[in-house]
Structure 1
């Protein structure tokens, strides 16, 4: 399956390095799943976000891998009802979906996922369009990356959601609907 999130899960080498170092100190004690969760928490804190207690003791999957990630990640091109349904099918509530969407404040997307938006759609900020077009030509450059939060791409904050409200989100208008839906739910 070739989709918008294909190969978007990267940097497994970092987890492998951490795992090797931990294995030499404490063989067969710490799982890769725990390393991913702790590294996520520590990265969020390092970028100015909140901290939280991490429950440890996760077991690694016997079948996890790049192929599973490529086929199970939810496409950003789904409609709002499609996103809600896809997250519900994975055991997440709508509010949890919105919270997870907020992690895009430190994410990047490939040109191929937002090219249509910046060359055809009109419900997007013109300054953002000009900036994105500089890195994402109309033809080619499919794998060029751009931040999903152009305001503060290296800070864990709520600028991603604020940008969506101001038509400054590179992805489809569905992202803006996520933020509006969250406000209605609370």
Structure 2
């Protein structure tokens, strides 16, 4: 939910040639003020505010219109890790074809009931999932208080997996 409102004000020392862009902030953000740094040569103040929203591209385009800056400089990756309108990724170009094939396979198998059933079977029969919980009776007794209260301690036995560790859970699915 996009909210705009009270701007948080930051007072700080900034050199005269710095350019600052105005951003909006959430309305419930408290105001902050700090003293100018003694290391700085000039003592001009500025205010900064920002708006938090689910879709950052809308806000960035809006900020670019009002601030006159390039919205691509402000972008963050979306929920799929993509940047900008072209979906750029921080990956070497030589890997792009393999990654697009992997992404296509992932989305097709994520909804494939036969694959999910096979994966669940392998995790159960080969890996030993779900890992059993073991009631640590003596450890529970050790931490029991005089009045009888205390934690009930259970251990998740990942050491009983086929390889003796949790890593097999990820490796089997790959």
Do the structures match in fold with TM over 0.5?
no
- Greater relative CO, 1 or 2 (CA 8 Å, sep 6+): 1
More helix by share: 1
* TM-score w.r.t. length of structure 2: 0.21
Q: If the length of structure 1 is used for normalisation, what is the TM-score?
A: 0.20
